[in-house]
Copies of this chain bind each other. A is one copy, B any other.
Amino acid sequence: MPRTSLPATTKLGFLGAGQLARMSALQAFRFGIQVSVFSDRPENEPVQFMTPFSYSGSFDSVDDMVAFAKECDVVTLENEFISSELLKEVQEKSGTPIYPSPDSFALIENKLIEKQTFENAGIPVTPYKLVASEGDLKSFGDEYGWPYMLKSSKGGYDGYGNHTARDLESAKEGFKKLGGEAGHDILAEAFVPFTKELAVQVARNETGSVVYPCCETVQENHICVAVLSPAPIEDKYQLRAQELAVKAVEAIDGKGIYAFEFFLTETGEVLLNESAPRPHNSGHYTIEGCVTSQFENHVRSVLGLPLGSTAMTKPAAAMINLLGTHNRPAAADHITEGFETDNGHLHVYGKLQSKVGRKMAHYTLLGNDLEKTHQKAKEVTSSIEI
């Protein structure tokens, strides 16, 4: 049963205060409810300028998070920094529901379990193996080719990250660096010869699920610089990626918004690469590009409201990430052209400090032709310093 009443005192809590929470909060405000935010940073974060209800604490402290959650009707997260075990404890002790649910999150927070969960659901994933010895490192390279990726199964959140294994020496080095010798689970993942990197957002709750168009994420040096929607690929791949994304969210019984990243391979396979249990950079274009944005459907979803249409409002959308160009107090400079361009929409995240490469803002341009829209968006944003 969908929720039929929204009291004005309904309070939606965000664990994390960055731009994803900020853009979700903007949507919550449209529904007339209140927003509360929990931050673990010493400096003021984006959402803290948008609410009188701010809490400071540690993502490792159940007590801190319980005190926060008790003041909220529903809690959601904007990152993967808190373990599902802690989230479960916070949910139980506070009595406040958390979405994504700790049970869903438990199925994807560990990359090994995530791969297995999705494989068991019949979703093709990039080839991988748990590696525990020099022999494993060598045989993976021999089977799938060099180089390949080594990943800590616990993701990049604890200071570790990924490592490109170029040869056996490099693999051994990476294994050690990622904590393999200290007992961490380490995954080897094959490099997939792909033609496109794709992403699909899905929102789901008890009222149903809705899936967004499959978009292309354009990467430069492993950083997403642009998102194009719908992805310029054949319809059958569009549908395949959407189908797999819905399967994936069902496999983890997800409630909220989820993003799934895929590789479209040279041989026409669509392989699941990564998942995110939250609004995702690849879905920022949906704010203007779709009838209901990923943020609105996230808020609807966690509140138990019916989900909204994911249809595009124009045939094409191009989103450009505006990464920090300077280390300085934040300011968006040379923005005139962006504002002068019809159907262009600048979103600045309200971070006080700019750092080179930091996600500071984005710009979405809608149009009728994807390639032209992408070119124009690049031109318009090329002068922006931030």
A interface list, Cβ under 8 A from B: 2-9, 22, 26, 29-35, 48-52, 54, 291, 300, 305-306, 308-309, 311, 313, 329-336, 339-340, 342-343, 345-352, 361
Complex alpha-carbon distance, A137 and B13, angstroms: 60
8 Å CB contact of A342 from B5, B29, B308, B348: B308
Task: Give complex CA distance A104, B346 in Å.
Answer: 30
A/B interface sample: 29 pairs, CB < 8 A: A2-B336, A4-B333, A4-B334, A4-B336, A5-B334, A7-B329, A7-B330, A7-B331, A8-B330, A8-B348, A9-B329, A26-B26, A29-B350, A30-B346, A31-B347, A31-B348, A32-B347, A32-B348, A32-B351, A34-B49, A52-B52, A52-B54, A291-B342, A291-B343, A306-B336, A306-B340, A308-B339, A308-B342, A309-B343
Q: For residue A7, give the distance in angstroms from its CB to the closest CB of chain B.
A: 4
In the complex, chain B residues whose CB is within 8 Å of the CB of A313: 313
In this complex, which of A30, A34, A340 has the most chain B Cβ atoms within 10 angstroms of its Cβ? A30
Are A32 and B350 CB-contacts (below 8 A) given A7-B329, A50-B51?
Answer: yes
A314 to chain B, nearest CB (A): 8
> Do B5 and A331 touch (CB < 8 A)?
yes
Across the interface, which residues of B come within 8 angstroms of A32, CB to CB? 330, 332, 347-351, 361
Copies in the complex: 2
Q: A31-B346, A291-B343 are in contact. List 8 more A-B contacts (CB 8 A).
A: A2-B339, A4-B335, A6-B335, A22-B29, A31-B347, A32-B350, A305-B336, A309-B343
Q: How far is the CB of A62 from chain B (nearest CB, A)?
A: 26
Name the B residues within 8 Å of A49 (CB-CB). 29, 34-35, 51-52
Min CB distance A313 to B, Å, is 6
A33 to B51, CA, bound (A): 14
Q: Are A351 and B52 in contact (CB under 8 A)?
A: no
A76–chain B nearest beta-carbon distance, Å: 18
* A19 and chain B: residue at smallest CB distance: B32
Q: Whose C-beta in chain B lies nearest to the C-beta of A331?
A: B7
Residue of B with least CB distance to A330? B8
Q: Of all chain B residues, which has the CB nearest A313?
A: B313
Q: Are B8 and A352 in contact (CB under 8 A)?
A: yes
A300 cross-chain contacts in B, Cβ below 8 A: 339
Q: Which of A5, A330, A345 has the most CB of B within 10 A?
A: A5
In the assembled complex, the Cα of A52 lies from the Cα of B345 at a distance in Å of 26
Min CB gap A244→B, angstroms: 25
What CA separation (Å) do A49 and B54 show in the bound complex? Answer: 11
Known: A6-B335, A7-B330. A350 touches B33 (CB 8 A): yes
A9 to B331, CA, bound (A): 8
For A5, the chain B residues whose CB sits under 8 A away are: 331-335
Nearest-neighbor residue (CB-CB) of A334 within chain B: B4
| CB closest chain-B residue, reference A53 | B49
